[in-house]
Amino acid sequence: RSAKLTDPERRPGSLKGFVNEMRMVAMKLHTKDQAKEGMQEKSTLPITEWKPKQSDFVQFLADSLHVYEYFEEELMVADSPHPEYARFADTGLERVASLKTDLAYLASLGNPTPPPTAAATKYVDYLKSLEAKPEAVICHWYNYYFAHTAGGRMIGRKMQDQLFEGRELAFYMWEEDVSDILNRVRGVIDEVAGDWPRDVKDDCLEETGLSFAYSGTVLSNLAK
């Protein structure tokens, strides 16, 4: 028997690398109606029943912008004092510019950009409290950016159809095939986390619940 099979520090999915462990923890936190790997009870209002107005969608974009700006302009910057954060600058997943494009378009339709709600400001306040804990920040970054490329894109298609006659919004477009970007970024996460001791990896995985809780409040702008 290989030593690995009896290693008490082994976690689900860990043989395939750390980002795979992060994904397994995240998938279990989905509700059963959100994703087939989801383990949580069905949502009270599944996305098939969401009927937000354009103004709710603008608020969702404004809240998203507040969070993405913090990640892209304060945390994951090339000259960050934390070398781990610099590895996540300019990955191709950045969303600030695309959100500004969409918000300008919506303003031209008569929906001016509102200030962020407490959902977004509280999330950023929480992220500020984590700045010196790369393992926790990277968990939030992974979940926030990867969620947007998965469930976020499904929601985007629905919103484009319901509210914009199918017009494609920039928030849901990337300059490269997004699966190529994700694969590259998975490699970066595995490199950055590769030599973290088990307890640091576990601290990172443990942030997943809070990442769902905070992004869920931003998303709840649409769940109506």
Q: Which is nearer to ligand HEM, 77 or 150 (CB)?
A: 150
Q: Which is nearer to ligand HEM, 85 or 123 (CB)?
A: 123
Q: How far is the CB of 60 from ligand HEM (least distance, A)?
A: 12
Q: Which is nearer to ligand HEM, 37 or 81 (CB)?
A: 37
Binder of ligand HEM out of 65, 93, 106, 182 (CB under 6 A)? 182
CA distance 26 to 212: 8
CA distance 151 to 147: 6
Q: Is 78 in the site for ligand HEM (CB under 6 A)?
A: no
Q: Which is nearer to ligand HEM, 64 or 211 (CB)?
A: 211
Q: Is 211 in the site for ligand HEM (CB under 6 A)?
A: yes
Q: Is 23 in the site for ligand HEM (CB under 6 A)?
A: yes
117, HSE (Cβ side, Cα atoms, 13 Å): 16
Q: Is 47 in the site for ligand HEM (CB under 6 A)?
A: yes
Q: How far is the CB of 145 from ligand HEM (least distance, A)?
A: 8
Listed in sequence order, the DSSP H helices in 165-197 are: 178-193
Q: How far is the CB of 18 from ligand HEM (least distance, A)?
A: 13
Encode 152-183: b = buried (16+ Cβ within 10 Å), e = exposed: bbebbeebbeebbeeeebbbbebeeebeebbe
The residue ranges that bind ligand HEM (CB under 6 A) are 23, 26, 30, 34-35, 47, 143-144, 146-147, 150-151, 154, 182, 211-212, 215-216
